[in-house]
Structure 1
Amino acid sequence: MRLIISCLLLAVALPAAAQIYKYTDANGNTVFTNQPPDGTPTEKVELPPTNAVQIQPPSQPANDDASAEQQAAYNLVELTNLPDEEALRANNGTFSVGVRLDPRLQPGHSLRLRLDGEPYGQPTNVPRLQVQNVDRGEHTLMVDVLAGTTVVQSSAPITFTVQRVNTSSPALRPPPPTPRPNN
């Protein structure tokens, strides 16, 4: 019984290993076919064995808790050099803030600010970040630790007020020159 089943399986597999023929038609075109035409000289084409690729099982991601714990390995992520109670005086809206990390920034990680909830500036590995031309008024600022484009950990948001002096204010204009008496 096994012999009969084996022979049937081999007979079914034979067409998959069919011969390929090559010939030139009346118009001079090269034709490849699995059945040779009658009366036309043909050439057998020997094909190399086909490639086979084994299906790889999908790789199992590491335990999400463990990878998040590994990535979020900072005990402390905070912004420094921002005033708590008073306004930040920056006449041109430019100032710098520090970032305190414990432990130090890990390889492959970078820092980027988030001003009013939106990413601000380019990621960097320097723990001193500059903010430029911020409008007067109240803002929130936080820092993200990035691994590529993925946020690994963020600092707590800090709310602060930027005070910019209006240089066109009459109070800031120099007094007009006093007139000279005519002699």
Structure 2
Amino acid sequence: MVTMKLRTLLLLITLLALHGFVAAQEKRIYVTRDANGVVIFSDSPTPGAEEITLTVRPNLMDPVDTRMPDKKPAEPEPFKVSIIQPEEQGTVRDNTGSVYIEGRITPRFQRGFRVRLVFDGLAYGEPQNSAVFVLRDVDRGAHTIQLELLDQNGKLIAISPVTTFYLHRASVISPN
């Protein structure tokens, strides 16, 4: 007796669920506009309403590739040092003998790195953490400069090409 009641109850639940599913599938949506142009959605048809057909699609995402790339880490780009100012074979005109040197290091300058200036073949001052140098009381004539990039341990890791520039200082003997 209990099994019969249980079967009847299960059959009734199944039929109700099936009816709800079918009723949900048969729902229709209508759209109209009122006198002010406002869009109105409804589940019952009204004069002049258009039926909207909805497509049902499961709410699933496309599969995603979760494998790790087989790439090895890229080799770090080697450092390059160049002199921006003064230009190669350029003339610096300064009666005080001051020369401003600006270098560029690529890729980005790292903490702990130092730059050493080589002026006329000799190290000039102590290495510093900037690629900008100011020379004072430089004699007129031709000069060479070069920048060296040193790591935290003082090891040379990059060097710029030699740049030759000319310092022009007015003179009492030869003002040109």
Task: Calculate the TM-score normalised by the size of structure 2.
Answer: 0.50
Pairs within 5 Å for 1:10-159: 73-74=78-79, 76-147=80-151, 148-159=153-164
Deviation at 1:85, TM superposition (A): 4.4
Structure 1 residues 152, 85: CA separation in 2 closer, same or farther (over 3 Å shift)? closer
Match of 1:165 among 160, 170, 175: 170
For 1:135 and 1:89, the matched residues in 2 are separated by 12
Letter in 1 for 2:126: Q
Identity %: 29
Q: 1:84-128 CA distances to partner (integer Å, 9 max, x unpaired)?
A: 444211211112111111112122210111011110122111222
> How far did 1:171 drift?
6.2
Question: In structure 2, the residue corresponding to 1:105 is in which secondary structure?
Answer: coil
Root mean square deviation of aligned Cα = 2.4
Question: 1:47 maps to what in 2?
Answer: none
Structure 2 gaps of 5+ residues are 1-74
1:170–1:111: structure 2 CA closer, same or farther, 3 Å change rule? closer
Q: Which amino acid aligns with 2:109?
A: L
How far is 1:169 from its partner? 4.4
Higher Cα Rg: structure 1 or 2? 2
Give CA deviations for 1:114-164 in whole Å, capped at 9, x if unaligned.
Answer: 011110122111222111211111111010111243322110000111111
2 CA distance for matches of 1:141 and 1:133? 15
* Residues in 2 aligned to 1:152 and 1:87: alpha-carbon distance in whole angstroms: 30
Change (3 A) 1:107 1:137: same
Q: Residues of 2 paired with 1:146 and 1:171: CA distance?
A: 41
Q: Secondary structure at the match of 1:87?
A: strand
C-alpha distance in 1 between matches for 2:157 and 2:98: 27
Letter in 2 for 1:95: V
Uncovered stretches (5+) of structure 1, i.e. residues with no partner: 1-68, 173-183
Q: 1:171 to 1:102 in 2, by over 3 A?
A: closer
**2:34 alignment counterpart:** none
